Amino acid sequence: MFVRLVLDTDILVAALRSDSGASRQLLLLAFDRKIELLVSVPLMVEYEAVLTRTDHLEVSGLSENDVAEILDALASVITPVRLRFLWRPKLTDPADEMVLETAINGAADMLVTFNVRHLATAAAEFGIRVMRPGDTLKEYRRR
């Protein structure tokens, strides 16, 4: 197993919008169980809420049923994280707090996001690296 990762919602959005990007490759690695993907219930609910927005469905070409199927498949390969302790407030965005709390409670090695600037300092307090998907994929391939 590579590392224990938490994917920010923006990574799943990118993964469903583009079939050739690093975000999609990380999602496929999770489906193949080559990386351990950590997800909490609130984070999974956030994934669903964001991925089923009309604008995301239009760009991705997916239906709400397609998204539900993808999330069901994802649920079958994730490591569930129980949020035993809430670390708020560490960040200004509640959605970012949820991602950070999943990483902390799941003892993640890495949090993957496009929002590195907002998450890196708080995550570093807990020994969690914050990286963009392309950098994460490059590191995976080097190992």
Distance between alpha carbon 117 and the CA centroid of its chain, in Å?
16
CA dist., res. 3 & res. 140, Å (int): 9
pLDDT, position 120: 87
Structure tokens belonging to residue 118 = 């907002």
Decide if pLDDT at 143 tops 60: yes
Domain 4-142 has CATH 3.80.30.20: no
Measure Cα distances from 24 to 12, 31, 90, 128, 133 in Å: 8, 11, 29, 22, 9
Residues 88-141: pLDDT tens digits?
Answer: 556 566 677 889 999 999 999 999 999 998 888 888 999 999 999 999 999 999
Residue closest to 116 by CA, chosen among 4, 11, 2, 1: 11
pLDDT-above-90 percentage for the chain: 79
What are the extents of the domains in the chain?
4-142
CA dist., res. 68 & res. 95, Å (int): 20
What 8-state DSSP symbol labels residue 35?
A: S
Chain-wide mean pLDDT for the chain?
92
